[in-house]
Structure formats: C-alpha cells, structure tokens
Amino acid sequence: MCVNVGEVTEQSFEAFFRQEHRKLVALGAAMTGSVELGKDLAQDALGKAFQQWPKIGRYDSAGAWARRVLINLVIDSNRRRGSERSALQRVVTDDALLPADAPSDDFWRAVRALPDRQRAVVTLHYLEDMAVADVARVLDIAEGTVKATLSKARATLSRTLAGVDAS
C-alpha cells in the first residue's frame, strides 16, 4: 500500500503521488458518489501531503496519512453539502429545482448513507481491499473497533439492500 520513500525529496513525493493518486481518487469517488469530487478531494489530500512531506515522507505510513486526510475531507464535504442542501431547501420550495444526487449503484449509494466511520471502514476494506489491521492503522483506531464497525455496517447494508431488492 505505501512506498518506502527513503530520502525525503521532491522526487520522492513525485513517486508517492504517482503511486497514490488513482487510489485516492477511487476512494474519494466511492465515498462521495462523484468522480469529479473524488478527484478534487484527492488533489486536496495530496496538496496537504506535499505541504507536510518533510514530516510524513520519512515514514511508510504516508499513504495511510493521505487516506485519513482524504476521509476527513469527505466528511467535511458531506457536512458542508448537507448544510448547503438544508439552506437551499429553506429557500427553494420546489424539489424539482434541487440538484439530483450523482447516479450510482445501490451498494455504493447505501454505503454513502452509512455514518462517517462505517462508510470509511467499508470503503477502505472493500474498495482498497485492506485488511482489518491496515484499516485500523489508516483510521488510527483499534482493530476491534474496525471489526465491530464493519459488522454494524454489514448489518445495516444487508437490511438496506434487502429493502432495495424487495421493491
């Protein structure tokens, strides 16, 4: 998952960027339902990584650090969009004038409806194919917490998707 960058240089950041960019875009897109927003958030996360590169570039966990930053950016973006949507609904009473959510399959729509931590755990585990220990390291939580969170998320997704299939 992470490159051992050795000497902290601009070239080492370029190698890190090439290795992580697509993965971060995919993570952001899966969590938000928008490839464009995923690209923007990945760029923001990598910009923060570049600013912190002298500190984080020395460690094998630079990729985990960037993923955690991206997840925090997704959470902030969701909060901001929720606030904007609420404000827009107070102003606009015609629902047809509100922007539609990006189309996506039922599974990822259900994942995006999960609470923040559950959404992050499911996305890292299934999209990035991370082991529980790796998810715990990225999110800086205990492995037991990852397992419990994943279990709760699976139960919620099972109920949600069963309801979708029954329609």
* Residue 153 · residue 121 · CB < 8 Å: yes
Cα dihedral angle (135, 140, 146, 149), rounded to 10 degrees? -120
pLDDT score recorded for residue 10: 73
Least confident range from 13-27, 41-55, 86-100, 116-130: namely 86-100
- Looking at residue 102, its pLDDT comes to 39
Q: Residue type for 50, please? A: F
Structure tokens at 77: 């973006």
- State the angle between helix axes of 10-32 and 62-91 in degrees (0 to 180), rounded to the nearest 10: 40
pLDDT band (50, 70, 90) for residue 18: very high
Q: pLDDT per residue over 30-56, tens digit each?
A: 998 899 999 999 999 999 999 999 888
